[in-house]
Copies of this chain bind each other. A is one copy, B any other.
Amino acid sequence: MIPVAALLTLVILAPEATPPAGALAPVEASRILDEALRGESIRILAELTDGVGPRLAGSPGADAAVRWAVDWFRARGITVRVDPVMVTHWVRGEERAEVVASKGRRSQPLAVTALGMSAPTPPGGMTAEVVEVRSLEELAALGAKVKGRIVLFQHDMKDASGYGKFAGLRLRGPAAAARQGAAAALVRSLSSATLRTPHTGATLIPEGVKAIPAAALSVEDAELLHRLLARGPVTVRLVLGGRLADPPLAPSANVVAEIRGSEKPEEVVVIGAHLDSWDLGTGAIDDGAGVAMVLDTMRIAASMPRPPRRTLRAVLFMNEENGAEGAVAYHETSLAAGTRHVAAIEADAGAGRPTGVEVTSGEGGLEAVRAMAAPLAALGASDVKAGGGGVDISPLAYAGVPLLSLAQDNSHYFDWHHSAADTFDKVDPRALAEAAAAFAWMAWALADSPVPLPPAPIPSTPPWWKRAAP
């Protein structure tokens, strides 16, 4: 591994990359980057994915992850606490589906996996005709015609850029179909690669809507149904056992660790990732990588000759995937405590190499973050853009907290996202170490900068956790 100090010397001598005089010591940047590039992050990730494994909120795996994280911090002498939070407790069950045989066509199995919040089918399954739609508008236009049918949400996501475009079909489609009397929903997997692999994910079931059975379908099977529908009616048999547990909420926790600031300990920089994962894989890229980056950042910060000026607070949020109760609970707890957050940065974009930093803050914030990020030029990660944030830190926006996120190469992220293929082997140790390095440096810079970032304007939309969905 090349010590980054040599590269940094070039960067920090370049006039355009020089941080404000005396603001952040270059020697600290090189120390932090070098320490992260030693690659402890991949060892942390292996402990979490190989040792703990899948950790869907409410499951024994999630409980084990909380214990593991607490032990990890304690073993390194870092102050840690658990903040209890009640989380959605949804449990997966049996899941299978098939195209029912018809004249000239044999029955065929379909690769499915239940989506979060799916209701179970009746014992033994259900059988209904399939109606295909490509948008929520198309579904709405069908009105009562979908009554008793299985709605197939079709799309043509090809790469990472398609996720934002089509995720609404998975998030809001099942509830919308339920409202129109549909018997079940099948959503084509939101993925950029497929080997007959279904990708699960959250669905939003607003108050007053009764969830219906809802499953992700592999891309191959979505295309099969599309071809068959072009030739005539198609009936599918669906068996889904997944359901909300009884009771539907389970006790869990956010894990909160702190390195107290030396000059302004009451000013807090949050560095966040989510400890839960979907249950199909081991959550290596979503969000084991983020957890590894946050933990390695704390390890490195704790190893520095002095603490940062402000308090560095690691928050491992619980249940980002299927309810985001950890995010809301942290926000409400810190509101009640009168916590002064000066910035929050989230790591939930996989394990790809870092490409830059995203920030949402007040006027002048972009320039200030550019100055902070200058040492990341050594990693090709000093590109600073507007638009930082993430699900878990998003409630802090309503307190005007500047929100940041690390931008990373996501070209393969959706090949694995929310599927059984989200496993340790997908992570390149060097790319993860570089991401951890960029994250650690930004965390330190935010906590140690003499001047905090300008507060962000309060969002004009109502808080998402108080809005009815869809």
Interface residues of A (CB under 8 A from B): 46, 50-54, 60-61, 64, 104-109, 111, 193-197, 219-220, 223-224, 227-228, 281-282, 415-416, 419-421, 423-425
Taken together as a complex, chains A and B put the C-alpha atoms of A109 and B50 apart, in Å, by 11
Contacts known (A106-B64, A111-B420, A197-B196); A223 close to B52, Cβ less than 8 A: no
A196 and B421 form a contact (CB under 8 A): yes
Q: Which residue of B lies closest to A111 (CB)?
A: B420
Of A60, A419, A423, most B-chain CB atoms within 10 Å: A423
A106 and B224 form a contact (CB under 8 A): no
Closest 6 pairs between A and B when the two form their complex, measured CB to CB: A195-B421, A196-B420, A195-B195, A53-B108, A196-B421, A195-B197
Contacts known (A195-B195, A196-B419); A228 close to B50, Cβ less than 8 A: yes
The interface residues of chain A, by DSSP majority, are classed as mixed
A282 and B227 form a contact (CB under 8 A): no
29 sample A-B contacts, Cβ–Cβ < 8 Å, listed by A number:
A50-B105, A50-B108, A50-B227, A50-B228, A51-B104, A53-B106, A53-B107, A53-B108, A54-B109, A60-B106, A61-B106, A108-B282, A193-B195, A195-B195, A195-B415, A195-B416, A195-B421, A196-B197, A196-B419, A196-B421, A196-B423, A197-B197, A219-B425, A220-B421, A223-B424, A224-B423, A224-B424, A224-B425, A227-B424
B423 and A106 form a contact (CB under 8 A): no
Contacts known (A197-B197, A281-B196); A54 close to B108, Cβ less than 8 A: yes
Taken together as a complex, chains A and B put the C-alpha atoms of A228 and B424 apart, in Å, by 12
**Could you say how many copies of this chain the assembly holds?**
2
Which of chain B's residues have a CB closer than 8 A to the CB of A420? Answer: 111, 195-196
Tell which of B46, B54, B219 touches A227, judged by Cβ atoms closer than 8 Å.
B46
Q: A51-B104, A193-B195 are in contact. List 9 more A-B contacts (CB 8 A).
A: A50-B108, A51-B106, A53-B107, A53-B108, A195-B415, A195-B416, A219-B425, A220-B423, A224-B424
Taken together as a complex, chains A and B put the C-alpha atoms of A281 and B415 apart, in Å, by 20
Which of chain B's residues have a CB closer than 8 A to the CB of A419? Answer: 195-196
Q: Which residue of B lies closest to A284 (CB)?
A: B220
Which of chain B's residues have a CB closer than 8 A to the CB of A46? Answer: 227
Which of chain B's residues have a CB closer than 8 A to the CB of A227? Answer: 46, 50, 424
B196 and A52 form a contact (CB under 8 A): no
Taken together as a complex, chains A and B put the C-alpha atoms of A356 and B420 apart, in Å, by 38
Instruction: Tell me how far the C-beta of A398 lies from the nearest C-beta in chain B, rounded to whole angstroms.
Output: 37
Taken together as a complex, chains A and B put the C-alpha atoms of A223 and B424 apart, in Å, by 9
Which of chain B's residues have a CB closer than 8 A to the CB of A106? Answer: 51-53, 60-61, 64
Taken together as a complex, chains A and B put the C-alpha atoms of A420 and B195 apart, in Å, by 7
Instruction: Tell me how far the C-beta of A60 lies from the nearest C-beta in chain B, rounded to whole angstroms.
Output: 8
Which of chain B's residues have a CB closer than 8 A to the CB of A228? Answer: 50
